[in-house]
Each structure stands twice: as C-alpha cells, then as structure tokens.
Amino acid sequence: MQAALTIRIDADSPTPVYRQISDAIRPLLVAGVLRPGDSLPPVRQLAIDLAVHFNTVAGAYRTLAEEGWLDLRRHRGAQVMERITPPSVRPDAALKFGQRLRELVAASQAAGLPPKSIARQLRRIVEALDPC
C-alpha cells in the first residue's frame, strides 16, 4: 500500500467500529488511491494501530471483500482486487443517497456548522465528481 492509511475511530459514534473502518477505507478504493495489487495492512497490525479487536478489522475487510474490493485469500493478506464490473445499481440507490445526504447535512446544521461551510464542502465534491 502506498498511501498512508489514516482512520479515525469515533467511540461515541453509533456506527459500529468495523463499519467506521470500512467506510474510511472505501473512499481510497473508489478514488484509486489504493489500486489493484496493493496490500492493506495485516489485520492484526491494523487492529493494534487502532487499538481494536482484530475481529473488528477482519469484519471491515470482509465487508469490503463482499463488495468486490478485496481479495482475502490466505497467506496473502488483504489485497486490492480489480473490480470486474460496476455493480448493477439498485433502483433505490439514488433515493437512499439523497435521504442520507439530507440527514447528514441536517445533523451538521443542528450541530451548529454554518450553511456556508457545509455548502463549501459540498461544492468541492461536486467539482471533483462532475467538473463542467
């Protein structure tokens, strides 16, 4: 693995820790920072680094393997795979994304984050996704 893997675990979050780990790694896979053939840190090493049980890290890797990102064959550790095809999109994917996006924005507004600051971060992602 070339990129430094920075994962923040939030003990107060209602999101399970294994999921926090897979959520943190997935953007690196989507963006191609982690490429096919790259290796992720061994489960036990990452578990020590994050101070979590190794089953938690194993669960995160398994989640990503089920999504087609990782090859977890024995003796090789977790290796990034060539993801064969983009999966067929579930019909409610856009709806769900919209809902979760509105929930995230509302939670951040409720926490006092100024709308301009939220809008700035959204614009940055839009520019990366769909530059016009």
Using CB atoms within 10 Å of the CB of residue 30, give its burial: 0 to 12 exposed, 13 to 18 middle, 19+ buried: exposed
CB of 75 to its own copies, least distance (A): 27
Q: Please, which residue, 37 or 98, has the CB nearer to its own copies? A: 98
CB of 91 to its own copies, least distance (A): 11
The residue written with tokens 């992602």 in the block is: 125
Q: Please, which residue, 74 or 90, has the CB nearer to its own copies? A: 90
* Cβ neighbours for 21, distance < 8 A, ≥ 6 positions apart: 7, 9, 46, 50, 52, 56, 57, 60
CB of 117 to its own copies, least distance (A): 5
> What tokens does 32 get?
């191609």
What residues make contact with its own copies under the rule CB under 8 A? 8, 10, 14-16, 19, 23-24, 26-27, 29-31, 67, 69, 86-90, 93-94, 96-119, 121-123, 125-126, 129-130
Amino acid, res. 6: T
CB of 30 to its own copies, least distance (A): 4
Q: Please, which residue, 42 or 108, has the CB nearer to its own copies? A: 108
